[in-house]
Amino acid sequence: MRKALYPGTFDPVTYGHIDIIQRACDLFDEIVVTVAINPTKSPLFTVQERIEFIAESVKDYPQVSVDTFDGLVVDHAKNVGAVGIIRGLRAVSDFEYEFQMALMNRKLAKDINTVFLMPHEKYTYLNSSIIRNLASLNSDVRDFVPEIVQKALKKKFNK
């Protein structure tokens, strides 16, 4: 039984993240998608909302669960019994930051390896900030995020 942890801020989850989760399901028996409580970011959605959006989006994947964590990602990986940390690589610009994080995480926990997966090319330019920005300007985001997120963004910005 090989378990992997997929950490991120997911504010909100996009089809790019879902694409990574689907690919991870081909490699691991179980995936725990974990929503980080990141003090350096001011999220638009609460942790509970972000968990709900992911859970709804992966409801057809019984091997995927969703939780949250505060603290070190490697500690949470150990707590859930994960042997791998999944990260998405979209472009060369992601590489340096991800490489640094992966090596630091390996220094902290030598038995846990980071696995990088590339999403479909059509999602390489996607990130959560762009989605929040588009939605705040009343742009249609249905091609980029699950329906539950699309509705929540509409509600948030169409007050």
Half-sphere exposure in the Cβ direction for 78 (13 Å, CA): 10
**Residue 92 identity:** V
Residue from the set 7, 53, 64, 86 that interacts with ligand COA by CB under 6 A: 7
Taking the complex as a whole, how short is the minimal distance between the CB of residue 36 and ligand COA, in angstroms? 3
- Residue 37 in the binding site for ligand COA (CB under 6 A): no
Q: Cis link prior to 43 (omega < 30° from 0)?
A: no
Applying CB under 6 A, among 5, 17, 54, 58 the residue interacting with ligand COA is 17
Q: Which of 53, 54, 82, 128 contacts ligand COA by CB under 6 A?
A: 128
Partners of 85 in beta bridges: 5, 114
Q: Which stretch binds ligand COA (CB under 6 A): 5-13, 22-30, 49-57, 145-153?
A: 5-13
Cα–Cα dist 154/145, whole Å: 12
- Nearest residue (beta carbon) to ligand COA: 16
Q: Which is nearer to ligand COA, 14 or 150 (CB)?
A: 14
Among 50, 119, 150, 153, binds ligand COA (CB under 6 A): 119
| 33: nearest Cα among 52, 72, 144, 42 | 52
Backbone angles phi, psi at 28, to 5 degrees: -120, 155
DSSP structure class, residue 140: -
**Contact region for ligand COA (CB under 6 A) — 51-59, 60-68, 122-130, 145-153?**
122-130
